[in-house]
Structure 1
Amino acid sequence: MPAAPPRRCCPWPAGSYHRTVKILRRLKDGSLLGVSGRDITYLSSGALISQIVLVVGQIVTARLYTPEEFGHFAVVLAWANILAVLATLRYETAIPLAATDEEAGALARLCLITSTVTSLVVMTLLWASATSGAELIATPGAWWGVPLLLWGTAAFAAVRMFAGRAGAFGRVGRAGVVASVGQVGVQVGLGVAGVSSGLIAGQGVGRVLNAAWIGAGGALRSGGSLRQVVTRWKRMPLLNTVPALLNVISVGAVAPLVARWFGVALAGQFGFATRLLAAPAVLLGQAVSQVMFPRLARLERTSGEAGAQLRRATEALTLVSLPVFSVVWLLGPEAFAVVFGEQWREAGLLAAIMAPWLAANFVSSPLSTYATVRDQLGRILLISVVEATVRLAGLYAGVSAGSAIVGIALYSLAGLGICVAFTGWVLALGGVGRRGLLRDLAVPLVIAAAAAAVSVGTRWAGAPTWVVVAVGVAGVLAVSVPCARRVLRLLPGRSR
């Protein structure tokens, strides 16, 4: 009697199983999305889970903390981000450029040492000022938050670069998930307990967890000489620190100025909006940047040919940014009010105003790594000075006009112009034909501009909310379809 055929352990059809295995195998060997696409997917998958956790956490914390508490949190976070740039002196940007792994390890170890020393010095100064009754950061009782966030941010920047050079993108993605869970857990727990500084504590725990989970064992065991790398890469702190500092002040750490000029509550609305808008950049933009930087550096060292990858990345980033940010600039106030509560409608309006600039920044920020690879530090410094001056002048114009909306609109418009100009310069630096790229992107860009114009016109005409929402949804769909079609053509093996 013949033996009965073995039973499958699960009801999954064999055909579906084999197709899934084939897709996963192609993803792993790079034939599905390309090698860069594979590594970006590894990072983005972890970032996706992290951002889902953080967005859910923000929905909860929006109802546990007031705009004023978010404002104080934004001020502390801004100071930590500013000081984190000074803590590493931008030596972490040299890690992918180092000639040997020993030299890269020494650079990472140097950044960890300077970050620790800087954090201890800042902690001592802020503790002394708090005990004497002088709050240097104008956020009562939160002096401890700046050094905590400072160390976590600076250490993470160094170990992330070191892990990226080694290709450990999976570990970086997992670290982000652990950090986001820890951050949200602490923020929600302390919010329920009524601790006003819970946002600061949770952010600090998250950043420290992120750096610690990635680890820097290879860097700490490296035999490279600290003195040699300080001397060899001294141009990094000399030419790269100021542009990075100006970028942080004018983009990611403008909350203290908003709080001073327009009030702490508006700074809370502004910070709430910018953190939500930063989610796509964290989800994909940073992943692209982290993968591209060492890869472009290697291409320049070996063949000097990086233009093709630069063009492909620019087109892909643009096609992703348009539908993602169109949701915000077309539906911002209504979406924020529904998801986070009516008290955050103003944050939705600010998000809609800033969305075009942040969509452009989503593209230009990862591309900036190529300018560093090409040793254009002097030009980057000049661009950063112009950008910071124009952006902050636009924001201050709102003070003169007596309107925060005017100031933030001019601030965003200046950022949009700078990002577009910077992207064009980087593409020219890589020998990429800009006319051909614009021709390929013309349809999505025109549709996005038309959708924005119709949405603004509908709002100015005082149309009912359901009409505004219907127009916004239609606009998002109109932008998304051509972008999705174009992205599919960029996949390996597809015709353009």
Structure 2
Amino acid sequence: MDFNVKKIVKKPFVRNVIIMASGTAAAQLVGLLLQPVITRFYGPEAYGLMGIFVAIIAIIGPIAALTYPIAIVLPKSDKDAIGLIRLSLYISTGISAIVGLLLLFFSQSIVRVFQIEDVAPFIYLLPLIIFFAGCLQVTEQWFIRKKQFRVSAQVTFLQALVLNGSKVGIGFFYPVASVLIIITVFGSGLKAFMMIMLSRVRKEPKLKEKQNKMEKVSIKELGKRYRDFPVFRAPETFLSSLSQNLPALMLTSFFGPASAGFYTIGKMVLQLPTNLIGKSVSDVFYPRISEAAKKGENLTSLIKKATFGLGVLGIIPFGLVFFFGPWLFSFVFGEEWLSAGEYARWMALWVFFGFMNRPSVMSLPVLSAQDFQLKYTVLMLIIRIIALAIGYYGFQSDEIAIALFGICGAILNIGLIIITLYISKKYDKMQGEINENIGT
């Protein structure tokens, strides 16, 4: 048994996951230790306002560069990968400028249309958010491509220490929502900056040096070659983020900022295992399955193993929240957060199966199935909106709205895993036939 464990740990995939998870675990520990202090300083109302802004960031941030950064891992040559980095930065800078101009002339109209009066003073930070998000995505994907997981792990911990420490330190004297919002806004930019600086200190492969040694590839040609990312992946990512963060906006509109605060803290706690293990697995699994596809390996087997492993790892933490959520939240964060525990027990169903479907989601670009993912995400968004609307208009209950939202999310994530496995089986069969024809 000991031999088998050592053999498993020595595998590059497992070792890289452990490295990523260790940094995330340290970051989560910082958050867990400081979060009870933070929640007692700021309260549900302040968290609700931050939740609205976090929802806006989560919706627009992932498409800051039209998802071109995700393609950085895929090319065989670094020349093409660096070209995609340049393209991504051009796009995020352009979108930031456009958003800045729109806000300059139409900010009041935008606030009224989207009913975000509570955070209106902060919407001028959106151009910065978009630019920071683009820089972070590019940096993270380059480090994933070069398998610099150790640097990523260290930065994840340092960022958590700085951000949570700032919330506590400033909140001790000035516990208002604006502090939470501004710290959150600069979080992405800080992480990108720290990754670049730590990379230089450790003398990891430098992007600038590689770029100088290589002939620049045509940006236009790369844009066309990877056009399925802005055409399919960007809309899918936007709609997926919208469907996940919609409750914070709708709960504010239906039941007030405190409800958004309960949802925000519930989601934050449930994302601990997702960020600890799920993201680490995703960051390592993406280049692994990309390489496997290039080598003609069986992709279905890889997806199954990763999905099952995440299911085993997630059953205990998410199960505890489902059965004991209200008690846990009131004990850890204070009695005023009891309702957040009620929210969390139903959200745990959705987040658990979302945790399990990470390998499936990361496989879809490799399987050339991003058009399917877009269609499925549209369906998911529609069903989630209906679930929240039924909870409000049919029952006038925020808890029922969240329960319906969580159950629908669980069912939809299960469906995504099943369909992805079906697609991967067809892909493996097709690749096998191609290899046989080449052999003959």
Q: Which of 35, 57, 79 is 2:12 aligned to?
A: 35
Whether the 8 Å contact between 2:48 and 2:259 is mirrored in structure 1 is yes
What are the Cα deviations for residues 362-400 of structure 1, in whole angstroms up to 9, with x where unaligned? 001332111221001121111111111111110111121
Q: Which of 87, 103, 110 is 2:80 aligned to?
A: 103
Task: Tell me the distance in 2 between the aligned counterparts of 1:346 and 1:334.
Answer: 10
Whether the 8 Å contact between 1:178 and 1:209 is mirrored in structure 2 is no
The residue number in structure 1 matching 2:143 is 163
Whether the 8 Å contact between 2:360 and 2:416 is mirrored in structure 1 is no
Aligned: 1:233 with 2:214: no
The residue number in structure 2 matching 1:300 is 293
Q: Which of 99, 102, 126 is 1:146 aligned to?
A: 126
Give secondary structure in 1 for the equivalent of 2:75: coil
Give secondary structure in 2 for the equivalent of 1:99: coil
The residue number in structure 2 matching 1:202 is 183
Task: Tell me the distance in 2 between the aligned counterparts of 1:420 and 1:131.
Answer: 41
Whether the 8 Å contact between 1:109 and 1:220 is mirrored in structure 2 is no
Q: TM-score, normalised by structure 2?
A: 0.86
The residue number in structure 1 matching 2:164 is 184
Task: Tell me the distance in 2 between the aligned counterparts of 1:254 and 1:185.
Answer: 28
Q: CA RMSD in A?
A: 2.5
Whether the 8 Å contact between 1:336 and 1:345 is mirrored in structure 2 is yes
Task: Tell me the distance in 2 between the aligned counterparts of 1:60 and 1:124.
Answer: 39
Whether the 8 Å contact between 1:84 and 1:115 is mirrored in structure 2 is no
Whether the 8 Å contact between 1:183 and 1:205 is mirrored in structure 2 is no
Kindly provide the amino acid, as one letter, of the partner of residue 183 in structure 1: L
Kindly provide the amino acid, as one letter, of the partner of residue 284 in structure 1: I
Shift of 1:221: 5.3
The more displaced of 247-256 and 39-48 is 247-256
The residue number in structure 2 matching 1:71 is 48
Aligned: 1:218 with 2:198: no
Whether the 8 Å contact between 2:252 and 2:260 is mirrored in structure 1 is yes
Q: Which has the higher contact order (CA 8 A, sep 6+)?
A: 2
Kindly provide the amino acid, as one letter, of the partner of residue 418 in structure 1: L
Structure 1 residues 131, 250: CA separation in 2 closer, same or farther (over 3 Å shift)? Answer: closer
User: What 5-or-longer segments of structure 2 have no aligned partner?
Assistant: 200-205, 427-440
Kindly provide the amino acid, as one letter, of the partner of residue 407 in structure 1: A
Whether the 8 Å contact between 2:307 and 2:358 is mirrored in structure 1 is no
Task: Tell me the distance in 1 between the aligned counterparts of 2:375 and 2:110.
Answer: 40
What are the Cα deviations for residues 434-463 of structure 1, in whole angstroms up to 9, with x where unaligned? xxxxxxxxxxxxxxxxxxxxxxxxxxxxxx
The residue number in structure 2 matching 1:416 is 410
Whether the 8 Å contact between 1:109 and 1:219 is mirrored in structure 2 is no
What are the Cα deviations for residues 103-161 of structure 1, in whole angstroms up to 9, with x where unaligned? 11121222223223323443454466669996774214323443443333332222111
Structure 1 residues 31, 323: CA separation in 2 closer, same or farther (over 3 Å shift)? Answer: closer
User: What 5-or-longer segments of structure 1 have no aligned partner?
Assistant: 1-21, 433-496
Shift of 1:175: 1.2
What are the Cα deviations for residues 168-212 of structure 1, in whole angstroms up to 9, with x where unaligned? 011111111121112112222221222431111222232212112
Shift of 1:421: 0.9
Kindly provide the amino acid, as one letter, of the partner of residue 203 in structure 1: T
Q: Which of 305, 312, 315 is 2:305 aligned to?
A: 312
The residue number in structure 2 matching 1:5 is none
What are the Cα deviations for residues 255-286 of structure 1, in whole angstroms up to 9, with x where unaligned? 21221122111011111111111111111101
Task: Tell me the distance in 1 between the aligned counterparts of 2:102 and 2:352.
Answer: 38
Shift of 1:249: 0.4
Task: Tell me the distance in 1 between the aligned counterparts of 2:368 and 2:209.
Answer: 28
Give secondary structure in 1 for the equivalent of 2:40: coil
What are the Cα deviations for residues 290-343 of structure 1, in whole angstroms up to 9, with x where unaligned? 111111011111214223222211111000110111111111111111111111
Whether the 8 Å contact between 2:391 and 2:401 is mirrored in structure 1 is yes
Task: Tell me the distance in 2 between the aligned counterparts of 1:173 and 1:71.
Answer: 29
The residue number in structure 1 matching 2:319 is 326
Whether the 8 Å contact between 1:185 and 1:202 is mirrored in structure 2 is no
Give secondary structure in 1 for the equivalent of 2:17: helix
Whether the 8 Å contact between 2:349 and 2:409 is mirrored in structure 1 is no
Whether the 8 Å contact between 1:183 and 1:204 is mirrored in structure 2 is no
Alignment of 1:323-402 (within 5 A): 323-401=316-394, 402=396
Kindly provide the amino acid, as one letter, of the partner of residue 212 in structure 1: F
Kindly provide the amino acid, as one letter, of the partner of residue 356 in structure 2: V
The residue number in structure 2 matching 1:290 is 283
Shift of 1:94: 1.2
Whether the 8 Å contact between 1:159 and 1:211 is mirrored in structure 2 is yes
Task: Tell me the distance in 1 between the aligned counterparts of 2:371 and 2:120.
Answer: 40
Whether the 8 Å contact between 2:266 and 2:343 is mirrored in structure 1 is yes
Structure 1 residues 185, 229: CA separation in 2 closer, same or farther (over 3 Å shift)? Answer: same
Task: Tell me the distance in 2 between the aligned counterparts of 1:348 and 1:363.
Answer: 22
Greater fraction helix? 2
Whether the 8 Å contact between 1:126 and 1:144 is mirrored in structure 2 is yes
The residue number in structure 2 matching 1:57 is 34
Task: Tell me the distance in 2 between the aligned counterparts of 1:109 and 1:59.
Answer: 42
Shift of 1:57: 2.6
**Identity over the aligned pairs, expressed in percent?**
25
Kindly provide the amino acid, as one letter, of the partner of residue 231 in structure 1: K
The more displaced of 393-402 and 211-220 is 211-220
Whether the 8 Å contact between 1:127 and 1:143 is mirrored in structure 2 is no
Shift of 1:54: 1.8
Whether the 8 Å contact between 2:247 and 2:263 is mirrored in structure 1 is no
Kindly provide the amino acid, as one letter, of the partner of residue 110 in structure 1: L
